[in-house]
Amino acid sequence: MARVADERREPPADPRRRVPSTTLLLGDPRLSEASARLGRTVVKAAVATAQQAVREGRIGPDDAVGAALAALPAHAAGLRPVHNATGVVLHTNLGRAPLSPSALEAMAAVGGYTDVELDLATGRRAPRGRSAMAALREAVPAAEAVHVVNNGAAALALAVATLAAGCEVLLSRGEFVEIGDGFRIPELLASCGARIREVGTTNRTRLDDYADAAGPDTGFILKIHPSNFTVSGFTQGVDAGELAALDLPVVVDIGSGLLRPDPLLPDEPDASTMLRAGATLVTASGDKLLGGPQAGLVLGRADVVERMRRHPLARALRVDKFTLAALEATLRGPEPPVHAALHLPLPQLRTRTLRLAGYLARRGLDARVVPCEAVVGGGGAPGTALPSCAVSLPDGLAAPLRTGEPAVLGRVVRGRLLLDLRCVPDACDGDVLAAVLRAAGR
C-alpha cells in the first residue's frame, strides 16, 4: 500500500511513455486478424516490440498498433517467396522447380483429411497414392510399374538396398558424380551396403570392361547421368541398351526426370528411351526437368519395383499426400512453369524485358536491355545455354532487391545487376517493376 502511495506522488508520466497494454493492443481488429493468420505468439512478439518502442519514446502510444503490424512477418513460415530473375531455371538454393497453379491447388485440396489410402466406394484400405501412380504409369508406358519416394537420392538408395546390399555395383569411373553440397553418389551407394566395382577409366569405358568386372557378386550395373558436368574429347561410354545384353539388372539414374525426349535438350536422357533400350530400372528426381514436387521416381520392371515397394526401407522414404497430389497434377495438368521457362520464345521474353527496362528508364533509372545466357541448372543439361536477355541495372540494387518483400534475386555480372525474366511468371512483371522502384527509392 505504501508503494502505491509513493508512486502517486511521482510527477505524471511523460505521455509519450504511456505504454498501451498487451490486452488492449491484441484486441485491435487488425492484430486479432493477424493472430488468426500467423498465430498469437508471433503477434505477441510484434506487440512487445512496439511497446518497447513506446517505452523508449521512439514512437507515441497511438502509433503502437501500426508499429506492431509493421513488425509482423509477411508469412506464417520463415521461408520467403523469391522472384527468380537469375536465369537459372532449376536453382537448388531456390527450391528447384516452382509448381504449377494446378499442382498448388491440388496440394491445398488435400490439406485436411483425404482418401490417400482409403477406397471411399468400399470403405476399405486402398493402395497409397494410387491415382498419382496411375498418372506416372500412363506418362511412361514403357514402365511396367512405378514407385515414388522422397527424392532422387532415396530412389537410388532403395534400389541399392533392394538389389545390391552386400553385393557389388558396377560403375564406370567416368560416372563418379558429386551431386552437390558435398554429397557423392558412390558414398551414398556404399552407405546402403553395396561395394562399388570401378569399371573403365574417366574418359573411356567399354562393354568389355563391364563384362570383365561382372561376376556372381554383382548386384547390378549402374549408369549415372553426369547431370552437372560434361566430359568432352576422347571419350566413350556404353549405353543402357548395350549393357542389357550382359544379363544383369541395369539401373539408370537419369537425374533430371525427363519422361520423354525433349528436342531442346538433345543430350539429356529420358526415362522412356532408357526403359525401351532395356534398362531394368530408371530413377529420377521429381523437381528437376519434370517440374513437379521434390520426389524420387522409380520406373521399371514390375517384379523389381514390387520388391522395392515392399522393402522395409521403403517405409522410411515414403512421400506424403502433398507430394502425391502435386505430382499427379504436374503429370496430368497444364504445362509446368519449368517447361514454360525453358521453352519461352526469345521474342516474347524480349518484349517483356524491353517493357520493364522502358518503365525503369522513364523513371530515371540507368536500365537497359542486354543479351545474356540462361541455364537449366540444378542437375540438368550442363552443357546447354539458352539464349536469353535481361534488364541491366546498377549492381547497388542487388542487395535491396534481395532483401526486399517480395525478394527479387538477379545475377551480378561485371558490376551490373542482370534481371532475366525467363523464370518470372509474366503476371509478376509488375511486382518486379515495383520492387526495383522501391529498391531505388523511386
Ligand X SMILES: *Cc1c(COP(=O)(O)O)cnc(C)c1O
* Site residues (vs ligand X, CB under 6 A): 151-153, 179, 224-225, 227, 253, 255, 285, 296, 379
Nearer to ligand X, 56 or 267 (CB): 267
Q: Which is nearer to ligand X, 87 or 377 (CB)?
A: 377
Contact 298, 283 (CB under 8 A): yes
Query: In the bound complex, what is the minimum distance in angstroms from residue 53's beta carbon to ligand X?
Result: 44
Sign of the C-alpha dihedral, residues 134, 136, 142, 148?
negative
> How are the residues of the chain apportioned to helix, strand and coil, as percentages rounded to the nearest 5?
45, 20, 40
In whole angstroms, give the CA distance from residue 47 to residue 340: 44
Rounded least distance, CB 103 to ligand X, Å:
17
Distances (CA, A) of 313 to 147, 160, 177: 13, 11, 24
Nearer to ligand X (CB atom), residue 139 or residue 349: 139
Q: Closest distance between ligand X and the C-beta of residue 379, in Å?
A: 3
* C-alpha distances in Å from residue 180, one per residue of 85, 91, 335: 22, 12, 28
Q: What is the smallest separation between the CB atom of 132 and ligand X, expressed in angstroms?
A: 17
Shorter beta-carbon distance to ligand X: residue 83 or 96: 96
In the complex, minimum distance from the CB of residue 295 to ligand X, in angstroms, rounded to a whole number: 8
- Residue nearer to ligand X on the CB measure, 222 or 304: 222
How buried is 350 (Cβ within 10 angstroms: 0-12 exposed, 13-18 middle, 19+ buried)? middle
- Which residue bears the cell 539388372? 249
User: Whole-number minimum distance, CB 294 to ligand X, in Å?
Assistant: 6
Determine contact, residues 203/231, Cβ cutoff 8 Å.
Answer: yes
DSSP alpha helix (H) spans, 142-258: 152-163, 185-191, 207-213, 240-244
Q: Which is nearer to ligand X, 20 or 380 (CB)?
A: 380
* Residues ≥6 apart with Cβ < 8 Å to 320: none
CB of 328 to ligand X, least distance (A): 18
The three grid cell numbers given for residue 188, joined into one nine-digit string? 551414398
What DSSP letter does each residue of 310-325 carry, written as one string?
HSHHHHHTB--HHHHH
Work out how close the CB of 380 gets to ligand X at its nearest, in angstroms, rounded to a whole number: 7
**Which of 318, 259, 302, 317 minimizes the C-alpha distance to 135?**
259
Residue 417: strand, helix, or coil: strand
State the nearest-atom distance from the C-beta of 434 to ligand X, in Å.
Answer: 34
Cα(16)–Cα(63) distance, integer angstroms: 10
- CB nearer ligand X, residue 127 or residue 180: 180
Q: Which value, in Å, is the radius of gyration of the alpha carbons in the chain?
A: 28
Which residue number, 154 or 349, has a Cβ lying nearer to ligand X?
A: 154
Degrees, nearest 5: CA angle 14-18-21:
170
* CB closer to ligand X out of 87 and 379: 379
Number of CB atoms found within 10 A of residue 27's CB? 10
Nearer to ligand X, 91 or 225 (CB): 225
CB of 74 to ligand X, least distance (A): 28
